Amino acid sequence: MKIFGHRGAAGLVAENTLESIAEALLYPIDGIEIDVHLCKSGELVVIHDETLDRTTNGKGNVSDYTIRELKKFSSEEGFKIPTLEEVLHLIDARCNLNIELKGKNTAIPMVKLVEEYIHKTHWEYNHFIISSFDHPQLFEIKETNSKFKIGVLTEENITAVLPVAKELDAFSIHPPITTLTNDEVTLAQEKGLRVYVWTVNTENLIKQSKKWNVDVVITDFPNFV
Ligand code: G3P
Ligand code: CA
């Protein structure tokens, strides 16, 4: 079973920051999960919410600010909002990267940026898994560049999204730990799909996931493993 740090290492250092990602890289992880939104000047920025309010000292919508303006805001600890480009640079293909397309219209800018990195650095398609609850954005990726591995995110159980996963020719299904059953893990895997479960934050749930043959657990606490 593989371990991915959630929003970097969100349980240890402020989520979706370069500092949180650097913390996650201190542990023997296989990958990191991050959330992206598009800002006013066109860059992809790494932040979970549509607004700045919960995680920074800024206010309002991320999409109303340019990257220069966003860089003036910080978390309580003084950590800045990173761009996806800064994250690619920091990780430098040392582990896999699960990019969650959280904001609208992020699919095509993500494809363009990552293609460029794959072309000019040692990042490879195989390092990436692109997931979203916004399934139409996943179809956009499939139509633009079918080399990207697609992960179908769901708040429901695996069964609910098997049809869309099939249509997308997805690599994986990403259900919450709260809806997971051993039978559903088996069902997905019999159909050739990997199972990435979030957010698995106790040692007991990590053990149970392993027993159920889950492929990847996404955790706020990569230090548990
Ligand atoms: O990608 C798994 C998980 O991150 C989805 O939920 O709200 O933490 O982005 P959320
Ligand atoms: Ca996420």
Per-residue pLDDT at 40: 98
* Ligand positioned closest to the Cα atom of 130: 1
Q: Please give the distance, rounded to the nearest whole angstrom, from the Cα atom of residue 100 to the centre of ligand 2.
A: 6
pLDDT at site 147: 98
Question: In this structure, which residue's CA is closest to atom 10 in ligand 1?
Answer: 48
ipTM over 0.90: yes
pLDDT of residue 208: 97
pLDDT band of residue 224 (cuts 50, 70, 90) is: confident
CATH number 3.20.20.190 given to 2-49+81-224: yes
Nearest to 80 by CA among 58, 96, 64: 58
Among this protein's residues, is 48 annotated catalytic? Answer: yes
- Convert the pLDDT of each residue in 22-69 to its tens digit: 999 999 999 999 999 999 999 999 999 999 999 999 999 999 999 999
Residue to probe by mutation, ligand 1, list 97, 198, 200, 219, most atoms within 8 Å of CB:
198
- What percentage of the chain reaches a pLDDT higher than 90? 99
Flag whether pLDDT at 225 surpasses 80.
no
Measured distance CA(10)–CA(218) in Å, rounded: 11
pLDDT at 198: 98
What is the number of the ligand closest to the CA of 133?
1
| Residue boundaries of the structural domains of the chain | 2-49+81-224
Which pLDDT tens digit goes with each residue over 140-193? 999 999 999 999 999 999 999 999 999 999 999 999 999 999 999 999 999 999
Ligand 1 atom nearest to 48, measured from its CA: 9
For the stretch 75-89, pLDDT in tens is 999 999 999 999 999
- The pTM (predicted TM-score) of the whole model is 0.98
Please tell me the distance between residue 198's alpha carbon and the centre of ligand 1 in angstroms: 7
